[in-house]
Structure 1
């Protein structure tokens, strides 16, 4: 499984039954793909008026928007498998388009022979289309283009329609057009090569059987794009050596996940359920792990779905990475110790909860990461009984499953309420009268206020 760090774009796959074998494109289709990518970018990217260096520029688009359009187009193409496309490849493809003057960065010198300008997948990087760019088969006048740019003239954009594009000699065009070759190189497709079973598989692929990589990549779904792209660049720079490749990749992924969850962010377990967390810890310290697990299952049900799913992925990664035989995270400390110290604050943090107890709760959730996200058996049994009661025409309120108080009538409730209120008021006036820490003047003021609001209790006492 090639490491793919853009899972949020996986939903764009078309799932068509016409999908061909990945890695095979005929020359004509490769040329058509190049044209379609350019047409999609020209028609779908969001063009706006942007300010750059105190000057307004019309019809600008950002590097991040360009990558989004190209990535979406590739993901929906029937010739590719969704696992072959990543945001990093889309950004490299945008670099190729910019190198061939499909668009240019705002503020740069066109056709400059200085060092190569790098495309940036950022919302702050601005680009504009070349007004005279034409698809393969057409000619462009560079001198006229330079003149227009020098004079500040910007003719209207005229993009050819896809149904009007003609290809004079697509086979020869594919063989000699450098742009097509660079396109295929960016997306790791080699249509001219036939499958060779003796060819060694590249070592920079991650095995699907490695659970460590699987759970680590699952966590990246909730990460920002900047962190994903940075991690992809680090992974692409790792040397192609079987002995160090896997460990180096795991170190990059672990550091990326740890960096994301070490930032100041809201904990995945809400602070408003602190009393529940304290109750679970109390059950753990008393040795009642069964009740603690059931309480944790109920507590997890209170979380919002997206927060619950993110917590599930993080705990799954922690459980695999904390195993004794897993990749060694620290020379001196055990993996479980490192995991607990690294991710405890991301899951639960509260000043009223000691650090040791918070870490104890997190490690308990990690050790039971599979069972803790299941619905408690007792709850399922209660729901099943209530459904049977409804089917039989019974009263659902008559069987709640849990009994916390005794049912009494309204008259009994009023009598208990009045009696409890009178007892508390009598106790209050007695404390005021016998309190030696207050002065006589202050005591008389308090008694006068009490007599004003509760005269009957005041007369009964005195």
Structure 2
């Protein structure tokens, strides 16, 4: 199932369909006896939990943070949506426990229809005509319209005022170029280009609309920050309440920041944690907002070890799009739960659950969820919160390269207008040059092959290093074999190949080897 749910619109629904198909195809079925009666091609609830839990933990879309209880909840969704039914054919409820009750697969398909399928059928006749538009950024067509409008206005200006001087015309164009609206449009363009490139999508139309990008939010989030990079709000009424901030600070710096004047009793830290959790869980919408649900769900495909840097870059940009109050709350929440998880002095906050798992399970729903309930919401949000918590420092750093890109583009437009005064308006469109685009699969193959070649070169350097003693060389090779077993095996397919590197050295000193048995000469003459 790894990587089958391709990025794009309605990814949660696609992922649901892939899981249900994989579950139906891979879940082992066998005969079971229940109340003196044999039932064929079925499975117990516990068997389903065991099998599905292992699959979810090993899948990059969900990760090892998936708990057994979450797997049970997903199976309950399966029962509710008729992916499975009990041995008597009953379904529709969520009455499923981790026990020996028998279940089976129905004959009907569990696949959910995609919301866009109906529109695709209705627009089948116009698809070929609009196909080219789908593979362009939406803002390009909008800018083209504005471009023609500006050109028309300039033509009218030249007809009505033929005596206008060249200097005045350049001044008018210059004012248009540096207007606030123009700068905001550049921000939208650059953010869309970066996100489309990172996500590897032919179009962002159904994932992120240009109107959803508010440049004022982006600029505010990049410029109004504390020395620690946390957003500072001008309107304090939008900030966290003082009592919530105090509670979060108390937990984040426990026990150092625990005020001696505060009441301390057994279970005090649990009450403080429950206070913070209740506040965030009662917010009217998740911190990542309903509006950006599809965008963040598509980033989940990047949460894999070899794509970690790309995922961090994508989340850096996406978190800049949030309203400043949401970004500030996200920053403070991630900093708090990260500190709590790493704090060895923090008492247990739950009797049956580890601190890290408790943080993820508690706050996942208040970080990411859909306005309309999606069956995979909890698993998807758990995976995202786990990654956010581990990389919160990098993700909430301000990506200065975006600001540099905007400044470079404005500078380019100014230079182009000075050089080609009659082609100023054409320079409004993005003028970036890109290398030949490759598919995500080709990118991954090149990435793996390049990294493997570098590691293989490292192995050769260890082998050929004459300054290393035999003992140190063996130690380094053993460590290399542990870290990169496949590359090591390719270099040394057999033990004989490895032995040739270390020829058996004689244990007797070299001078003694030259001693030969003397030849006895005959006494006869």
What TM-score, normalized by structure 1, do the two folds share?
0.33
Relative contact order, higher structure (CA 8 A, sep 6+): 2
Structure of higher CA gyration radius: 1
What TM-score, normalized by structure 2, do the two folds share?
0.30
